[in-house]
Amino acid sequence: MTTSHVKRALKYRFYPSDAQATELSRTFGCVRKVYNMALQARSEAWTLRQERVNYSATSAMLTAWKKTEGLAYLSEVSSVPLQQSLRHLQGAFTNFWQKRAKYPSFKSRKKSRRSAEYTRSAFRWRDGRLTLAKMVDPLDIVWSRPLPEGAQPSTVTVSQDGAGRWFVSLLCLDLPVMPEPVNAAVGIDAGITALVALSTGEKITNPRHEREGRERLVKAQRELARKAGGDGANRAKARIKVGRAHARIADRRRDFLHKLTTRLVRENQTVVIEDLSVRNMIKNRKMARVIADASWSELRSMLEYKAQWYGREVIAVDRWFPSSKLCSTCGILQGRMPLNVREWTCGCGTTHDRDVNAAKNILAAGLAVTACGDGVRPQRSTPGGQSSVKQEVVPAARTCGMSQP
């Protein structure tokens, strides 16, 4: 198998000096200001004149803004992060036009992510030390893991989270270590009680990090609610406490997902998952909190980019495929099956765990797609009320030489 370089972003924590923190905070504010002004200019141009303004036009606007008395402070920070914010805005509009995202929104001083992106011309990388434009001293980075040997960062992104922690992300080319191919495949059924059920029969319990950290978070939020409005020091301290509570939950969740996905990708050549519409599912007000805490979208994202690193394959099965109601032994499709039914017995005499059975069917459908190009979206029921899923999916898996799990 031939391997090629892939782009990898490695994120590290760093501790800025007072002067560096001040400079970066000013840069964050200028980046937000330029983004919002460019968004307003583009929106007004379309609303008033039906005119589309592109990146080049907003870049010319930025040059003019710097020459005005009220915006002269934009010239005091590095120009590269400001230009990059305009490029990000262009990307946001492109995603909107191609119907991949909503219309771009304005950045908030209190709620939006504080970050600035530096390209190669705006930082110096020498002997493993990183110095940003407008700064004299290099950043004090905690190297929790080494950069790939010989790696040269092409882009640096500095950010600060709600807990007040500072991070730097280094984007560089890396030649990933491709392990030997393995003769194994696994189907994954995502859930709530069990975060994932595998076609091997293993069920991994959902740690529910949000529920575990809810008491600490609620206490911090109550303290913040008692503070007077505005930008007082006490309110700022209370806001950071809330950010730390959120960060604790997010860090633990991300750590768990990283360990799980790395294990699944290393042990299996093919990983088959469901193409879940989490955005629609989270609209269920009764289930929104637990669905968000499960973080299925992040789980899928990690599986996909790690599969690229390790030379593996991830297959997504159509969300309408009735994996839970289809017997993985005989292929008979059952009738209505409420969510409270966790085990059921098929007419062939096989007793199924609902989640494990779904994972087995997901795996069989995914392998059928790979081998035959067969579809996994169920056809409509026939006039007699019999579904054609059994004929569509299960025989395809058998015809292609794959035994039903």
Residue type, 193: T
377 by DSSP, 3-state: which?
A: coil
Q: Taking phi first (over 0 means left), then psi (-120 to 50 degrees means alpha), and beta for anything else, what does residue 59 get? A: alpha
**Euclidean distance between CA atoms 188 and 364, whole angstroms:** 11
**Euclidean distance between CA atoms 193 and 196, whole angstroms:** 9
Known catalytic membership, residue 274: yes
Residue type, 10: L
Q: Which of 294, 289, 213, 298 is nearest to 258 (CA)?
A: 298
10 by DSSP, 3-state: which?
A: strand
Contacts within 8 Å (CB) and 24+ apart, 52-60? 54/90, 55/86, 55/87, 55/89, 55/90, 58/86, 58/89, 58/90, 59/83, 59/86
Q: Which position among 189, 210, 293, 392 bears the catalytic label?
A: 189
Q: Which position among 23, 117, 210, 274 bears the catalytic label?
A: 274
Q: Do residues 22 and 202 touch, judged by C-beta distance below 8 A?
A: no
**Euclidean distance between CA atoms 325 and 136, whole angstroms:** 64
What is the 8-class DSSP label of residue 273?
E
**Euclidean distance between CA atoms 28 and 158, whole angstroms:** 9
Q: How far is CA 20 from the centre of its chain?
A: 29
- H helix count then E strand count, the chain: 11, 14
Q: Which position among 23, 117, 293, 355 bears the catalytic label?
A: 355
Residue type, 45: A
Neighbour-count burial for 56-74, b at 16+ CB within 10 Å, e otherwise:
ebbeebbeebbeeeebeeb
Alpha helices in 208-323 (DSSP H): 209-212, 214-226, 233-267, 278-281, 288-294, 296-310
Point out the residues that are catalytic.
Answer: 189, 274, 355
